[in-house]
């Protein structure tokens, strides 16, 4: 089916006058209300502070101390593992079944920062007395197996919104 030149010209003359080619405005009969009218993120008066938005964040803030108990996949307490330098501390040759941990949670406006430190005790003599073939090591760095422990750290950063600050 061929379109005539007259039909093509009529379409270009009639369509630009049609509302169908114009962008819809928010809040019209066929559209949803504007997001900015219902979403608190767009309210200039809505507080930026996590603690003001939800008071339970205040209970989460501060310095925490706890004992972390670690288990292997089969439910037995985690055992020391020979260290391989190329694996960037994925295997720890220290007592891993329990570690003393300290966490510091800080809320600052819409931001939450968490810093954690885990203190591992030295490995038991049964682990230290093993003969290990390279690249396996029974200690990280220049420590002494059975004498020196290990500390690892973590840091997390998060925001409640990136649009407020």
The three-state DSSP-derived secondary structure of the chain is CCCCHHHHHHHHHHHHHCHHHCCCCCCCCCCCCCHHHHCHHHCCCCCCCHHHHCCHHHHHCEEEEEEEECECCCCCECCCCCECHHHCCCCCCCEEEEEEEEEEEEEECCEEEEEEEEEEECCCHHHHCCCCCCCCECCCCCCCCCCCCEEEEEEEEEECCCCCC
In this predicted model, which residue has the larger pLDDT, 33 or 23?
33
From 16-20, 39-43, 57-61, 91-95, the region with the lowest mean pLDDT: 16-20
Record the pTM: 0.67
Range of the domain at 135: 61-160
- Residue 106 is predicted with a pLDDT of 95
pLDDT (mean) for 70-90: 92
Look at residue 72 and tell me if it is in a domain.
Answer: yes
Asked if residue 122 is part of any domain, the answer here is yes
**pLDDT tens for residues 122-154?**
999 999 999 999 999 999 999 999 999 999 999
Instruction: Count the domains in the chain.
Output: 1
């Amino acid at each position: 089916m061929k379109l005539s030149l007259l039909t093509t010209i009529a379409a270009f003359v009639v369509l630009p006058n049609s509302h169908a080619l114009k962008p819809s405005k928010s809040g019209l009969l066929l559209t949803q209300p504007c997001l900015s009218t219902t979403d608190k993120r767009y309210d200039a008066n809505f507080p930026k502070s996590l603690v003001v938005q939800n008071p339970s964040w205040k209970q989460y803030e501060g310095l925490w101390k706890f004992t972390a108990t670690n288990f292997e996949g089969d439910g037995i307490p985690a055992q020391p593992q020979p260290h391989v330098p190329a694996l960037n501390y994925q295997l720890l040759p220290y007592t891993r079944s329990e570690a003393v941990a300290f966490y510091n949670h800080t809320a600052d406006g819409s931001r939450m920062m968490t810093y954690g430190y885990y203190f591992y005790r030295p490995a038991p003599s049964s682990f230290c007395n093993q003969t290990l073939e390279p690249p396996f090591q029974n200690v990280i760095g220049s420590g002494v197996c059975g004498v020196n422990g290990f500390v690892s750290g973590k840091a997390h950063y998060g925001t409640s919104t990136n649009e407020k600050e």
